[in-house]
Structure 1
Amino acid sequence: MKTHITNQYLWVIALLLCAGNVHAQFVKGLGDKAKKAAERTVERRVERESSKKTDQAIDSIFSGKKNKKKEKSTGNIPENKNNPVSNTDQQNPDKINSNPDFEPGSKVLFVENFTDDKEGDLPVNWNTTGSAKVTRMAGSDAKWMELSSPGVFIWDKVKNLPENFTLEFDLYVPSTFSYYDYPLWIVIGNMKNKRELMIWEKYKEKRGKEKRNGLLLMLHPQEEGGKKSGYSEYEIWENSEKIAFNKIKSLNRFNVNNNKVKVQIWKQKQRLRMYMGEQKIWDLPQAFESGQVLNTLLFSRYEAKDGNYFYISNVRLASSDDDARSKILNEGRYSTNAILFSTNSSAIQPSSDATLQEIAAILKENPSLKLTIIGHTDNAGQKENNLALSKQRAASVKNELTKKYGIATDRLITDGKGDTEAVSDNTTPEGKAQNRRVEFLRN
């Protein structure tokens, strides 16, 4: 085993030396601007390849200790009453060999579920160079934004992005979507003004004049040749130069059969990870320059056959700057929106696992530490029901920590405050999301 790991490190060193020689030949004779772009591309490629080999070495050690899991279907989305889709739109079970490590941001910044928007209208918090409208799916209370035409769709509420954040949203396409329908691009970037919206229209580029600065992530539910699997790409742009790009195929979590998926994006300083259906598809250690300013979240798509549109819903942007360990041990209090529950229920959603695992690790590292877990709700519903629900949710968190992670029950006390201790305005979706939280107090 030791020899195996050593060989991996030798491979990385060889790659670095080789990359240095290739790099020297490649940039010879280029101008300063081209040199910089080439250097950044080589750096990213070397880091990506070395990171992949290191991960493989580590995975080979622990592969015998991890059990493969069967993930069940999350169910299909019903037909769109305005754009009917076939009943073959369904999720199939899929086997994965690792647990998702996505950790939702602990402080909600903005949420978008289109609750207050009129069906058939462009959502009030969005702007576009094309057309979009709010719609429903038959049999579901959720509202979706239909990206109805080619263009750019920008979330106007987002004026700046923190250094560390998470973005989550539900994505849906009809099962009739084909390889010849154009993909969806997700943009995390920097714009000086709204006039620059046009530079993110993927298929209307003016080569060399885009002034792009940011990251593009692409999703498509069908490969060429009629294959029932999706694919994804990314592009990194710095000052009008596309300095890195790549493509992966055979995505089984998002395709014309599995056509409704949760997309999760996690930025930590320069690093970016992307997940689909809790399966990691991208891990880019140098997706951004250190200290790069980002102020824009938008979607971009080009033409498709009538009815073959992209739909998004339940958009959640949250910062992930809070350090649970520091807050609990030094300040004695930690509050998080990252432990999520089903609506009007105390059932904990799977995306909460990373946060609960972190709390459990803090407790294990500090055997004398005892915590009070306090549930909070928004003001929807009757006060007595909210109080009971908040107590039940706190109890669910305790139960998870004791049964799944082995924390002694006498180290955890539970309580609930219902909607009596709001930290934000309950009249907005963002305020409600911030009020739905779990607190951990040091005893």
Structure 2
Amino acid sequence: MKTFKSLVLLALICYLSNASAQRIDVKEKARNAATNRADQKVDNTIDKSLDKIEEGIGGLFKKKNKSTKETGKDKSQKRNDVAAEDQQQPSFATYNKFDFIPGDKILAFDDFKQDALGDLPAKWNSTGAAEIAKINGSEFNWVQLSGGDAYFNPQYITQMPDNCTVDFDMVINYSKVAYAYYQLRFGIEIISSATAKAQTENANVSANTGLTFNIHPYSDQEIHAISYLKGETQLETKAQFPALSSPAPIHISIMRQQQRVKIYFNDKKVYDLPQGLPPAQHYYLRFSALIDAWNDNQNIAKMYVSNLRYAAGKPDMRNKLLSEGKLVTRGILFDPGSAIVKPESAGVLKEIAAILNEHKELRVKIIGHTDSDGDNAKNQQLSEARAMAIKSILVEQYQVNEDYMTAEGKGETQPVDGNATTAGKANNRRVEFVKL
């Protein structure tokens, strides 16, 4: 089998190398990718294509069988279309009920790249064992949360606005031997106290006011929601999410609209609580870990968090596009250095598609923007590929009229925020829809 895969891979490289003298040297790109993958943005497409072949997916050969007859479309536009298709965009069918749309302005973004492995995150406060770690071969850093009775506060999520969103990637790692022990849970909390630890002695509920989502990976993959006012429980309910047992990252999305709170685990809306948050002057976000002494000593239960994004505002996408003529979104997310759209972008894409399909006469230009990391020329190409990928998804998966959309990229040339901070970079990584 390995010999067959090697022959297929070699045949592909030779075929692409000899197909057109004007195209890039794929052999050279492959060698560069093997030795310096970190310097790839647009070139990342080549690596992904080779990886697909190694896994037995012959998609590129399939594409070569398509008719090459010109239909009047500009040739350069056609090349961009092919590049976007080669990104192997995921299907958003499973996210058809996902309606999470992040806030307009990013207040904080944390991927922990600025922190050294083994250190406590510089912008966090903790009463337990929190340190930066690498997991699952991930290219970015994670904050590892553990401890017998510990609380972890991101110091940049303070005095949350009435309308705001928080989303992040989460991994829960635990051993099956932990199943037998009830006292093992992790928490995501919106709490009215800014202190790292504030709880009653035995209730595992804050002594003041807030909303807690307790994650119990050991017991039927349950998520308990508890709303409380000055230490008194106002609401208590539970739901299940079977994927808690998977080692794959889970994307958590939280939307606050005054007292109403929605929380999603991947594509599933786990809770929609219209009165989830009792009235309070300020709210803060914190994480918690409650692990009994035996499990904590055995070091078999940990929670990991990364790519934490905190944004303010209640987006009015319809008004922005139809009345003001320009919609700017930071809710269309991509894999690092590529034009592959992440499935958690479905809420934004679905809303935009609904507007365009309802107003069929509307013509728009899709403009991609990047931050300033990396090479200027590659950022320009990356922004173009991302704009084309969005157009392709709107056409192929949401049936928007292709003839009424154009796509282009501006690279890093039009920043709207500074590139010195992670939040500034996240604000600059955006997509604009401009009415023509």
* TM-score with structure 1 setting the length: 0.70
How far off its partner does 1:270 sit?
Answer: 2.6
1:360 and 1:273 map into 2 onto residues whose CA distance is 23
Which whole-Å CA distance do the structure 2 matches of 1:276 and 1:183 have between them?
16
Give the drift of 1:236: 0.7
Once residues 248 and 376 of structure 2 are traced to their aligned partners in structure 1, the CA distance between those partners, rounded to angstroms, is 38
1:214 aligns with 2:216: no
Structure 1 residue aligned with 2:406: 413
Contact kept? 2:101, 2:315, Cα under 8 Å: no
**Whole-angstrom CA distance in 2 between matches of 1:404 and 1:311:** 33
In structure 1, what is the equivalent of residue 269 of structure 2? 280
2:227 to 218, 231, 236: 236
Partners of 1:325 and 1:331 in 2: CA distance:
9
CA shift, 1:211, in A, is 4.2
- Once the two structures are overlaid, the 10-residue window that deviates more, 392-401 or 358-367, is 358-367
2:128 to 103, 127, 130: 130
State the distance in 2 between where 1:318 and 1:128 align: 23
Map of 1:313-352 to 2, 5 A cutoff? 313-352=306-345
Question: Cα–Cα, structure 1 residues 97 and 309, in superposed 2: closer, same or farther, change >3 Å?
Answer: closer
Q: Report matched runs for 1:348-363 at 5 Å.
A: 348-363=341-356
Tell me the amino acid that sits aligned with residue 98 of structure 2: P
1:415–1:240: structure 2 CA closer, same or farther, 3 Å change rule? same
RMSD in angstroms over aligned alpha carbons? 2.4
Q: Which amino acid aligns with 2:186?
A: L
**Superimposed CA distance per residue, residues 310-336 of structure 1 (whole angstroms, 9 cap, x where no aligned partner):** 221221222341211111122111111
The code of the aligned residue for 2:264 comes to Y
2:211 partner letter? L
Alignment of 1:293-308 (within 5 A): 293-304=281-292, 305=295, 306-307=298-299, 308=301
Greater shift in the superposed pair: 147-156 or 265-274: 265-274
Deviations 1:51-97 (A, max 9, x none): xxxxxxxxxxxxxxxxxxxxxxxxxxxxxxxxxxxxxxxxxxxx979
Q: Which residue of 1 aligns with 2:239?
A: 248
Partner of residue 424 from structure 1, selected from 399, 402, 417: 417
SS class of match (2:412): coil
The change in CA–CA distance for 1:396 and 1:293 in structure 2 (over 3 A counts) is farther
Whole-angstrom CA distance in 2 between matches of 1:316 and 1:303:
27
Query: Structure 2: how far apart are the matches of 1:353 and 1:97?
Result: 6
Structure 2 counterparts to residues 377-396 of structure 1, below 5 A: 377-396=370-389
CA positional deviation for 1:204: 5.2
Number of residues of Structure 1 aligned to a counterpart in Structure 2: 335
Could you tell me which amino acid in structure 2 is paired with residue 111 of structure 1?
F
Quick one: distance in 1 between partners of 2:333 and 2:136?
26
Question: Does structure 1 retain, via aligned residues, the 8 Å contact 2:330–2:431?
Answer: yes
User: Secondary structure, in 3 states, of the residue corresponding to 1:315?
Assistant: strand
Indicate if the aligned counterparts of 2:100 and 2:348 stay in contact, CA closer than 8 A.
no
Deviation at 1:374, TM superposition (A): 0.5
CA–CA separation in structure 2 for the residues paired with 1:96 and 1:254: 18
Alpha-carbon distance change, 206 to 401 in structure 1, aligned in 2, over 3 angstroms:
closer
Question: How far off is 1:140 after superposition?
Answer: 2.8
Amino acid at match of 1:254: L
> Which residue, out of 79, 101, 108, partners 1:110?
108
Distance 1:299 1:157 in 2: 13
More contact order relative to length (CA 8 Å, sep ≥ 6) = 2
> 1:288-308 CA distances to partner (integer Å, 9 max, x unpaired)?
246x44431001122342322
Question: How much does 1:340 deviate?
Answer: 0.9
1:133–1:148 Cα contact (<8 Å) kept: no
8 Å contact 2:99–2:348 — kept in the other structure? no
Give the conservation status (yes or no) of the 8 Å contact 1:103–1:351.
Answer: no
**Partner residue, 1:37:** none
Asked if 2 retains the 8 angstrom alpha-carbon contact of 1:102 and 1:266, the reply is: yes
- Counterpart Cα distance in 2 of 1:259 and 1:439: 31
In 1: Cα distance, 2:370 partner to 2:146 partner: 36
1:215 Cα deviation from its structure 2 partner? 0.5
Matched position secondary structure for 2:108: strand
* C-alpha separation in 2, matches of 1:101 and 1:283: 12
Match of 1:185 in 2: 187
- Distance of aligned partners of 1:276 and 1:295 in 2 relative to their CA distance in 1, 3 Å threshold: same
- Render the CA deviation track for 1:21-71: whole Å, top value 9, x for unaligned: xxxxxxxxxxxxxxxxxxxxxxxxxxxxxxxxxxxxxxxxxxxxxxxxxxx
How far apart, CA to CA, are the structure 1 residues paired with 2:221 and 2:201?
A: 20
Which shows bigger deviation, 169-178 or 310-319? 169-178
2:173–2:247 contact (8 Å) kept in structure 1: no
Alignment partners' CA distance in 2, 1:139 and 1:98 = 30
Give the structure 2 partner of residue 156 of structure 1: 155
Counterpart for residue 175 of structure 2: 176
CA distance in 1, matches of 2:204, 2:190: 20
- With over 3 angstroms needed to count, the CA separation of the structure-2 counterparts of 1:409 and 1:248, relative to structure 1, is closer
Query: For 2:387 and 2:407, how far apart are their aligned partners in 1?
Result: 6
Residue-by-residue CA offset, 1:151-196 (whole Å, 9 max, x unaligned): 11101012221222222222223241523252011111222x53xx
Secondary structure at the aligned position of 1:198 is classed as coil
Is 1:198 equivalent to 2:186 in the alignment? no
Say if 2:209 and 2:278, in contact at 8 Å, map to a contact too: no
Shift of the 373–293 alpha-carbon distance from structure 1 to 2, 3 Å rule, reads farther
| Structure 1 gap segments, 5+ residues each | 1-94, 224-228
One-letter identity of the residue aligned with 1:162: P
- 1-side partners of 2:303 and 2:242: how far apart? 18
Distance 1:113 1:161 in 2: 20
Instruction: Tell me the percent identity.
Output: 33
